[in-house]
């Protein structure tokens, strides 16, 4: 079986080598000619999978994307061809949550916020948003949720309509799929009009899709002299974002919020399991068998472990300012040879909270909610 996989998909050969011959490809520049012999195609969000790409792949029987989002996949075309399809919902949800928490901790320090006095709006409460809400509530932060699709099907979902939520929050974080048309469209969800609904000092975080927040509107607001805290991991026109906007951000990065080792590897594992199911095979490997040992595996804490301690521990494992520094250094060079895609491909290892076991005679329960392994001695 000929398997073609994005070169940035970790452990893909570990998982798939026993199922066939694995060829690694550049997902951004992939062409139909390159995959003419493909029986399995494994991609990430940078690859547009449609009729144009697959027109010369008559043997193709399975397509998988190691991402939560699927807006880059023409699922109708796959269905028409009878090609099996799987995504990886939730694979990097914890990784994105930890990116957002690290960003919030940085903003809180920079602007001297007391987080327990703030209200955070979470727009999109699916795999990622759900975890983020739980994490923020565990930290005693007030949260308002906006998810009209969940509100339509869950009678007890605490939904706040979008335009009612915006004026009430001190920070808004977006975690929606990119939907370009229809009643639940998210394209340009934050635009020049909805920006005016926000409090003047309301912070904005976008770690879902770049086109959800209108970059031109953000730039125009900033150039008018209005300063608001801004965290952007995703951009319109990736991999060539508007460099003028970078100067007006507090944190800027190259679409890497979900790039923890666990987050990326979990996506690979989920596609492996899906292909095994389609082939009628029992999975041979699990994530625990391929992950490397973490540099820090266990810490002993005391029962008075509080919010400031969580912030310090979070920085020990992952500090978003590292990614911001890398992004600004490489993206702002006049003759850059190492840009957006290089930053994603060469992303330094990052472990999730779950890689560390916190032990003690008493371990606060909220640490488990945040994602840490905990053990009472």
Which pLDDT value is given to residue 116? 95
266 is catalytic: no
- Our answer to whether residue 255 is catalytic in this structure is yes
Nearest to 68 by CA among 87, 50, 52: 87
Active-site entry in 44, 228, 255, 259: 255
Residue-averaged pLDDT of the chain: 95
pLDDT of the residue at 30: 96
Interval 34-83: pLDDT, tens: 999 999 999 998 999 999 999 999 999 999 999 888 989 999 999 999 99
CA distances in angstroms from 155 to 142, 148, 149, 152, 165, listed in the order given: 21, 11, 11, 7, 19
- Render pLDDT for 98-153 as a digit per residue (tens, 0 to 9): 999 999 999 999 999 999 999 999 999 999 999 999 999 999 999 999 999 999 99
Condensed to tens digits (0 to 9), the pLDDT of residues 289-305 reads 999 999 999 999 988 89
pLDDT of amino acid 143: 98
Pairing of strands 230-232, 251-252: parallel
User: Can you list the domains of the chain with their CATH numbers?
Assistant: 2-87 (3.40.50.720), 93-252 (3.40.50.720)
Is the confidence at residue 337, as pLDDT, over 80?
A: no
SS3 string of the chain? CEEEEECCCCCHHHHHCCCCEEEEECCCCCCCHHHCCCCEEEECCCCCECHHHHCCCCCCCEEEECCCCCCCECHHHHHHHCCEEECCCCCCHHHHHHHHHHHHHHHHHHHCCCHHHCEEEEECCCHHHHHHHHHHHHCCCEEEEECHHHHHHCCCCCECCHHHHHHHCCEEEECCCCCCCCCCCCCCCECHHHHCCCCCCCEEEECCCHHHECHHHHHHHHHCCCCCCEEECCCCCCCCCCHHHHCCCCEECCCCCCCCHHHHHHHHHHHHHHHHHHHCCCCCCCHHHHCCCCCCCEEECCCCCCHHHHHHHHHHHCCHHHHHHHHHHHHCCCCCCCCHHHHHHCCCCCCCHHHCEEEECCCCHHHHHHCCEEEEC
CA distance 40 to 134: 37
Catalytic residue among 209, 266, 344, 350: 209
Catalytic residue among 238, 262, 269, 352: 238
Residue 338 has pLDDT above 90, yes or no: no
239, with CB counted inside 10 A (0-12, 13-18, 19+), is middle
Annotated catalytic residue 130: no
C-alpha 65/C-alpha 67 separation (Å) is: 5
């Amino acid at each position: 079986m000929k398997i073609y996989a994005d070169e940035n998909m970790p452990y893909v050969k570990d998982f798939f080598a026993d199922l066939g011959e694995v060829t690694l490809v550049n997902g951004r520049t992939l062409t139909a000619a390159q995959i003419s012999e493909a029986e399995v195609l494994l991609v990430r969000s940078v690859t547009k999978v449609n009729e144009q790409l697959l027109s010369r792949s008559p043997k193709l029987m399975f397509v998988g994307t190691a991402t939560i989002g699927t807006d880059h996949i023409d699922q109708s075309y796959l269905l028409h061809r009878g090609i099996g399809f799987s995504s990886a919902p939730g694979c990097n949800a914890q990784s994105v949550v930890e990116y957002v928490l690290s960003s919030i901790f940085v903003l809180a320090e920079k602007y001297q916020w007391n987080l327990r006095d703030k209200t955070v709006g979470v727009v999109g409460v699916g795999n990622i948003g759900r975890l983020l809400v739980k994490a923020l509530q565990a930290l005693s932060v007030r949260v308002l949720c906006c998810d009209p699709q969940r509100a339509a099907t869950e009678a007890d979902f605490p939904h706040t309509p979008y335009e009612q939520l915006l004026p009430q929050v001190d920070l808004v974080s977006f975690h929606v799929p990119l939907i370009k048309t229809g009643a639940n469209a998210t394209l340009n969800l934050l635009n020049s009009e909805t920006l005016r609904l926000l409090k003047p000092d309301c912070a904005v975080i976008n770690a879902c899709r770049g086109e959800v927040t209108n970059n031109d509107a953000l730039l125009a607001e900033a150039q008018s002299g209005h300063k608001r805290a801004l965290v952007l991991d995703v951009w319109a026109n990736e991999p060539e974002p508007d460099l003028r906007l970078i100067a007006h951000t507090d944190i800027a990065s190259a679409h890497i919020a979900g790039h923890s080792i666990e987050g990326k590897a979990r996506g690979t594992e989920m596609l492996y399991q899906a292909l095994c199911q389609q082939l009628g095979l029992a999975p041979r490997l699990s994530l625990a068998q391929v992950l490397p040992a973490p540099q820090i595996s266990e810490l002993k804490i005391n029962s008075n472990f509080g919010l400031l301690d969580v912030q310090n521990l979070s920085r020990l494992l992952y500090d978003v300012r590292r990614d911001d520094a890398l992004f600004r250094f490489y993206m702002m060079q006049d003759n850059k040879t190492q840009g957006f895609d290089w930053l994603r491909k060469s992303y330094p290892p990052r472990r999730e909270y779950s890689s560390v076991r916190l032990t003690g005679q008493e371990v606060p329960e909220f640490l488990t909610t945040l994602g840490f392994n905990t053990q009472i001695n």
